Chain A
Amino acid sequence: MKRELWIVIGALLLAVPLQAQAKPLTVTGVRGLMFGAVLPGVPRVVSRTDPANSGQYDIRGPSRNQMVLAFVLPVAMTGPAGALMPLSFGASDAGYSQSQAIGSQVGFDPKQPFTATLSNNGRGSVFVGATANPATNQRAGAYTATLTLTVTLLP
């Protein structure tokens, strides 16, 4: 009985370091989605494969762990005096890359949750593009919006 108690205590002590060893999940916004200069009445498309203007998130976590990627997407950008400029996201405007290379993405619909797997070294990147749709009388000035990516590790 004493021996078994020691085993139990050992297991408990072991469990803590094992948990500590698992890589924590981190999500980092690396690059904003940049439309640059936009002319009234002229839609501006930024592709998820655009290395300079697409949005990018980097993810780190347990190796080969499956996860669910879910976006909270704005419907418009806000500009001077509360002016709005519509944003639209296509069915393949987001992409996931295990290798974190923008050239090797698997496209997915950012409006739907997407299941992906972290790489062998516990990394991955998400890229996102979109279309800004300025009206012909769009008020001039700077416009911004926030895109949030939530990552949930699957057990």
Chain B
Amino acid sequence: MRTVSRLTLVVAALVLTGTALQAQTNNASITATASVQTPINVVGFQQLNFGNVFPGVNKTVAVADLTNAGRFDVTGQASAPVTLSFTLPATLSSGPNTMPIDSYAGVRADNSSQTSGIGFVPGGSNPATLSAAGQLFIWIGARVTPATNQAQGTYTGSITMTVVY
């Protein structure tokens, strides 16, 4: 009888252990996926060139002037919306001398000939959309206003355009 009781306890323990062993572990995995699109690339393709300027005579380079207007070329993901932002100088410099520059104007187009171009005022946040080929062309025109006693020299300034998705 005592033997049987001990056996019963052992069996009971085995059964309980068997139940405890049911504390199972299992796992599964899923995959995270993403498709990174083409990064933006910006090239300063053409300088904004005022050519010869005479003291006291304002000079404007029209944004439609394909030869002298400044031009940026952008490539990136096809048809993606982007934001253009510009840092525009208020003056051009020649050593210690400065010459005012103002009246900035912009045009953006899907092609390099400005066909169906859209005019805009360049500033801190200009929305645009890359073409179906992932391209965008931007022209910048402006005006310089030399003083009547403007010192002779070569004047330069930097126009920076930043493009983000």
With beta carbons under 8 angstroms apart, the residue of A85, A138, A146 that contacts B29 is A146
Residues of B contacting A146 in the complex (Cβ-Cβ under 8 angstroms): 29-32
Q: Is A150 an interface residue when CB atoms closer than 8 A count as contact?
A: yes
Residues of B contacting A1 in the complex (Cβ-Cβ under 8 angstroms): 1, 4
Residues of B contacting A61 in the complex (Cβ-Cβ under 8 angstroms): 24
Query: How many residues of B sit at the interface, in one of the four size bands?
Result: 35 or more
Interface positions, chain A 11-42, Cβ under 8 Å from B, are 11-12, 15, 19, 22, 24-42
Instruction: Let me know if B33 and A35 touch, CB within 8 A.
Output: yes
The smallest C-beta distance from B7 to any residue of chain A, in angstroms, reads 6
The smallest C-beta distance from B22 to any residue of chain A, in angstroms, reads 6
A39-B25 contact given A11-B15, A143-B33, CB 8 Å threshold: no
Instruction: Let me know if B32 and A144 touch, CB within 8 A.
Output: yes
Query: How many residues of A sit at the interface, in one of the four size bands?
Result: 35 or more
Q: Is B11 an interface residue when CB atoms closer than 8 A count as contact?
A: yes
The smallest C-beta distance from A133 to any residue of chain B, in angstroms, reads 11
Instruction: Let me know if B37 and A35 touch, CB within 8 A.
Output: no
A25-B25 contact given A11-B11, A39-B165, A145-B31, CB 8 Å threshold: yes
A26-B26 contact given A4-B8, A8-B4, A19-B19, CB 8 Å threshold: yes
The smallest C-beta distance from A12 to any residue of chain B, in angstroms, reads 6
The smallest C-beta distance from B112 to any residue of chain A, in angstroms, reads 24
Instruction: Let me know if B26 and A151 touch, CB within 8 A.
Output: yes
Q: Is A95 an interface residue when CB atoms closer than 8 A count as contact?
A: no
27 A-B pairs with CB atoms under 8 Å apart are A4-B8, A5-B7, A8-B8, A27-B28, A30-B30, A32-B33, A38-B34, A39-B36, A79-B36, A85-B34, A128-B30, A132-B32, A137-B39, A138-B36, A140-B37, A141-B36, A143-B36, A146-B29, A146-B32, A147-B29, A147-B30, A147-B32, A149-B27, A149-B28, A151-B27, A154-B23, A155-B22
